[in-house]
Amino acid sequence: MTKKNSPPPKSKFQYDAIVIGTGPGGEGVAMQLAKAGNNVAVVEKYEAVGGGCTHWGTIPSKALRHSVSRMIEYNNTPLFSENYLVRNLTFSEIMKHASGVIRKQARLRSSFYDRNRVSLYHGEASFVDRHTLKLVRPDGSTDTLTAKQIAIATGSRPYCPSDIDFNHPRIYNSDTILDLDHDPKSIIIYGAGVIGSEYASIFRGMGVKVDLVNMRDRLLSFLDAEISDALSYHLWNNGVMIRHNEVYKSVEGRDDCVVMNLESGKRMRADCLLFANGRTGNTDMLKLENVGLKADSRGQLTVNKNYQTEVDNIYAVGDVIGYPSLASAAYNQGRFAAEAMIAGKPNADLVDDIPTGIYTIPEISSVGKTEQELTQQKVPYEVGRAQFKHLARAQIASTQVGSLKILFHRETKEILGIHCFGERASEIVHIGQAIMQQKNGGNTLDYFVNTTFNYPTMAEAYRVAALNGLNRIFKD
């Protein structure tokens, strides 16, 4: 006899689980469930899988950044610049490369669903009840899908305030900027977070005059202060105008320009505007009220340690649950959520020290504590530094801007934080991260002092920084 309020028998559902969204989080859920033998379906609103990460966020912006960085490297390398004219690329030319990468990533990710026999539906999903979704296809036709469990991985979109006309051909957000079809001579970037700082580097690298408007008193204040200062100096030195502690009052979209009026009374004019101030979770189209869920003011859902919402058969991962809002973390969240959907709890948790990768030019990456956090916590730490300009590999590659900083406990030598600014920083930081994860005394500065690194390499910066740090320690 079936108990009251118990879910219907499994045979009454079309699928064991349905995943809404095919970004990193949704892919992580779907692949883990399918590999465990579950009958899984995914719903993707757009014509190709991959979500915002592949089509509008991580992949295209990093592909853009790579092309611009290589152009800068070409123009600044004596081997080329002494014999050839300076090479400048248009935004459209650079986007061709990015579009190729997007297509390759979409094809690859699509093959994962085929190979693992995951049913793929294209359309917009919304809840009918806790086990049922309504699917509206691109042609307007509808269908109903049912499952025992449902995972929400719908990602996020740029925040677009209603008092700015984003339909104006000169006003963009961080998604629509990829459709830029002309070559601006000047741009206003409103919002100096990760996305704004990255695009400031990209456009300035292309020779565009950049005004970067920051609502706070420093760039990327979550970073170690020295790294934040290094970025500020580098942008300033390259000609970016940074305006701190400013808030817009109004935006005027004109035929030939955009004018931004600030609360401070200042006025700025440029060929176009990129508004990059925050993101909103994609939950408003899901009809959450039909299952008793409610998103917060930023469109985000609350979940427990198992990524389970207040409705016990509905889970959520990725940008729709907030921190850390990283593609890399979202994939792991998806895997862990799938394990919880199968066994009641995940087999692992996200690592405590999640690396941050910021793809400005040059890159920034860090993991662990900052100097400010350690000082506030009264931890007796010391600092080891390596300047890239002193490394043979950096001199060979003409990528001498930047440094590596190791923070370590001055008594135990335990590594507490790694902070890197410079070309390939997001790769270099993982060496330090790997050592920080070692247990039973394996996480100490001694590893970098005693191991042998390939020479010449950028990894050698760890040995240089470790020795530099040891030289600062003295005994009474």
Q: Is position 292 annotated in a ligand binding site?
A: no
Contact 290, 302 (CB under 8 A): no
* 469 marked as binding residue: no
**Does 195 appear as a known binding residue?**
yes
Q: Does the annotation place 281 within a ligand binding site?
A: no
Helices (H), 241-308: none
Is 266 one of the annotated binding-site residues?
Answer: no
In 10 A of CB 218, how many CB atoms? 16
Residue 40 DSSP SS3: strand
Q: Report whether 193 belongs to an annotated binding site.
A: yes
**Which residue is associated with the tokens 């400031």?**
200
CA quadruple 36, 42, 48, 52: dihedral sign:
negative
| Residue 48 assigned ligand-binding role | yes
SS3 153: coil
- 34, two tokens: 């399918």
Is 327 known as a binding-site position?
no
51 is in an annotated binding site: yes
- 226 annotated to bind ligand: no
> Does 61 show up as a binding residue in the annotation?
no
Q: Is 37 annotated as a binding residue?
A: no
Whether 197 and 219 have beta carbons less than 8 Å apart is answered as yes
Annotation-wise, does 196 bind a ligand?
A: yes
Asked if the bond preceding 456 is cis, omega within 30° of 0, the reply is yes
Nearest alpha-carbon partner for 92 in 209, 168, 180, 198: 180
User: Omega into 362 within 30° of 0, i.e. cis?
Assistant: yes
Q: Is 119 annotated to bind ligand? A: no
Is 156 annotated to bind a ligand? Reply is yes
191 known member of a binding site: yes
Q: Reduced to 3 DSSP states, what percent helix, strand and coil does the chain have, rounded to the nearest 5?
A: 35, 25, 40
The one-letter amino acid code at 462 reads Y
46 marked ligand binding residue: yes
Angle at 65 between CA 99 and CA 432, to 5 degrees: 120
Q: How far apart are CA 264 and CA 183, in angstroms?
A: 30
SS3 96: helix
Residue whose C-alpha is closest to residue 125's, from 144, 140, 147: 144
Does 53 carry a binding-site annotation?
Answer: yes
Flag whether 159 is marked binding.
no
Say whether 155 counts as a known binding-site residue. Answer: yes
444 marked as binding residue: no
Tell me: is residue 363 an annotated ligand-binding position.
Answer: no
What does 68-90 look like in DSSP terms, one character per residue? HHHHHHHHH-HHHHTTSPPP---
Binding site for NAD(+), by residue number, is 191-198, 278
Binding site, by residue number, is 44-53, 62, 154-156, 191-198, 278, 319
Binding site for FAD, by residue number, is 44-53, 62, 154-156, 319
